[in-house]
Each structure stands twice: as C-alpha cells, then as structure tokens.
C-alpha cells in the first residue's frame, strides 16, 4: 500500500466534512423530532415512521462513510466488521427509500381490482415483507464478503493495522453479482414504477378536474403534481447514483490499491449523502401537499 500525499488527506477530510455535516444534521433533526413525538405520547402517522426510519438509515450510512474515508485517508486499514456494516447499511438505505415511494403509491392511487384493493388494505404487511427481503439480500452479499475473502495478518509498512485482501473465487463472485443485480433491479422497479404511476395519476387528475376547481384548489393540485414530478425524478437520480457507485466498485475491485479504495469511499460518501437530502425534501413536500389536498377535499364534501 503506497503512502497517500498530505494534500489528498486534507482534500478528502474537507470534502467529507462539508458533505457529511448537512446530511447528518438534516437526518438527525427528523429522527429527534420523531423521538420527541414518541416521548410526548403523540401518535405517529405511518409516513412519519417511514421517514424517521429512512433518516436513521441515512445517518448510519453518512457516519460509516465518513469514518471509512478518514481511516483510509490516514492509512488505517478498516476492520472487516466495519466493512461488513458499511456495505450492509448502504444496501438497507436504498430499500428504506423505496418503501417511502411504495407508501405514497398505495395511499394515493385508486385501485379498483381485487389485487389492488388487497394491497391497499394490507400495505403495512407488504412493506414489511419487501423490507425483510431487501435486508436479506443486503446481508447475504456482505456475509459472502465476510466469510469468503481471506484476510491475513500481514503488516504493510505504510498502513496502520494488519490486513491484506484477496479476491473472491469466481463462483462466489458470480453468486454475489447475481444477488446484487436482482436486488438493485428490484429497488429500481419499486422506486421508479410507484413514483412514475403516482406522477401520471396526479397529472391526469389535475387535467380532468381543472375546469371544476377554484383557483385555490387548482393551485393546491398543481403543487401536488409538482411534488410528484420531484419524487419521480429524484428516484431516477437515486438509481443513477446506485449505478454509478457499483460501476466504481467493479472498477476498483479489479485494481485494489489504497488510492482506489480511498476514491471509492469518497465517491460513495458524495453519492449517498446528497441524494437522500433532496429525496427527503421532495417527500416532505409531497406529504404536506397531499395532506392539504385531502383536508380541503373533506371540507368541500362536508359543505356540499
């Protein structure tokens, strides 16, 4: 492992800090707010629970990414257990974000067929099952790395800590690749399809009802539609970041040096910190617009 120039260490620390701090505090605020509501015995809505859990996952990923970058920047070899939690939490974060998209899909879109009605009435169970399957897929790839890669007690002169890396066998590499392809294809479908269907439904609903709505209700409907567009394109952005991260991972695994691992962790930090912040902002916008729309619709029905 060659030594890393001091300029690279400083650059990594500065970039990591400026990316980590905003994401950390924005997610921490949501988690603390939910904890206060629970402590004050206020009832939390399902969407608030999902947002709090997603923020908790984002916090874990941000902190682990930050620690990984600092360790590698200062020539410390990360422990294999830290690598395990780092990869697992990163995968779970993606599945938790897909649950939020699925929640709005089940709660807002009208479904009249038998399957759709069953999904709407059992959406909590469906979300739980999807999340369990996602966690199992994330842990399975991490367990393959944990028990199948060989780590020896060999000390490099410029690395603090004892470690060496050997690649997986060809068969296990194929198994890991298949699991990841299936996992991320599922995440892509669960984020893009619900958010896209929600966007199409709201656009069609606004066009259909525009002639019968007042200017105030029309503005509210337009706000919901804009929020749905935001969720859809943020989902695309999230998927693009997932793809970029794992393309980098494949490239760096073929030339596994200290600089490549350091660069991959830094790219991982950038791609997993910026997007969740914007995704949470879009989800919160859609949530409040949907609440206002439902409230006004109920009041209009009562007055009529």
Of the candidates 211, 9, 201, 183, the one whose C-alpha atom is nearest the C-alpha of residue 98 is 183
Q: Please provide the size of the chain in residues.
A: 304
Of the candidates 58, 61, 59, the one whose C-alpha atom is nearest the C-alpha of residue 82 is 61
Residue 125 has pLDDT above 80, yes or no: yes
Compute CA 162 distance to the chain's CA centroid, rounded to the nearest angstrom: 32
| Angstrom distance (rounded) from CA 210 to CA 212 | 6
16: confidence class by pLDDT, cuts 50, 70, 90: low
Beta bridge partners of 155: 162
Compute CA 228 distance to the chain's CA centroid, rounded to the nearest angstrom: 18
Which structure tokens are listed for 252? 């760096």
With b for 16 or more beta-carbon neighbours within 10 A and e for fewer, the 85-118 pattern comes to ebbbbbbbbbbbbbbbbbbbbbebeeeeeeeeee
End-to-end CA distance of the chain: 75
In this prediction the pTM is: 0.62
Q: Residue 212 carries which DSSP code? A: G
| Angstrom distance (rounded) from CA 230 to CA 269 | 23
* Residue 177 CA: distances (Å) to CA of 13, 171, 264: 32, 10, 18
More confident residue, 206 or 92: 92
More confident residue, 93 or 279: 93
**What's the whole-number average pLDDT of the chain?**
66
Of the candidates 61, 54, 19, the one whose C-alpha atom is nearest the C-alpha of residue 34 is 54
Arithmetic mean of pLDDT, 175-204? 78
Structural domains for the chain: 6-303 (1.20.1070.10)
Of the listed ranges 94-108, 167-181, 206-220, the one predicted with least confidence? 206-220
Of the candidates 38, 61, 63, the one whose C-alpha atom is nearest the C-alpha of residue 48 is 38
Question: Percent of the chain having pLDDT more than 90?
Answer: 0
């Amino acid at each position: 492992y060659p030594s890393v120039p001091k300029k690279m260490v400083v650059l990594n620390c500065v970039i990591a800090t400026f990316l980590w701090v905003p994401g950390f505090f924005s997610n921490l605020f949501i988690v603390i707010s939910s904890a206060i509501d629970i402590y004050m015995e206020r009832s939390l809505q399902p969407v608030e629970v999902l947002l709090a859990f997603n923020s908790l996952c984002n916090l874990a990923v941000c902190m682990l990414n930050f620690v990984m970058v600092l360790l590698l920047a200062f020539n410390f070899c990360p422990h294999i257990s830290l690598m395990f939690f780092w990869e697992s939490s990163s995968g779970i974060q993606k599945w938790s974000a897909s649950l939020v998209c699925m929640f709005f899909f089940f709660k807002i879109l009208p479904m009249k067929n038998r399957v759709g009605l069953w999904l709407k009435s059992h959406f909590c169970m469906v979300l739980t099952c999807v999340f369990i399957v996602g966690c199992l897929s994330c842990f399975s790839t991490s367990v393959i790395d944990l028990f199948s890669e060989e780590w020896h007690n060999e000390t490099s002169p410029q690395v603090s800590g004892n470690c060496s890396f050997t690649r997986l066998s060809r068969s296990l590499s194929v198994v890991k690749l298949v699991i990841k392809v299936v996992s991320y294809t599922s995440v892509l479908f669960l984020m893009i399809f619900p958010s896209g269907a929600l966007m199409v439904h709201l656009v069609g609903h606004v066009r259909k009802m525009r002639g019968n709505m007042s200017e105030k209700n029309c503005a509210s409907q337009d706000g919901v539609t804009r929020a749905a567009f935001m969720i859809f394109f943020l989902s695309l952005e999230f998927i693009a970041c997932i793809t970029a991260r794992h393309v980098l991972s494949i490239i760096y695994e073929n030339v596994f040096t200290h600089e490549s691992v350091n660069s991959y962790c830094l790219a991982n930090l950038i791609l997993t910190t910026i997007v969740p912040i914007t995704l949470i902002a879009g989800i919160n916008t859609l949530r409040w617009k949907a609440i206002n729309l439902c409230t006004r619709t109920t009041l209009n029905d009562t007055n009529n």
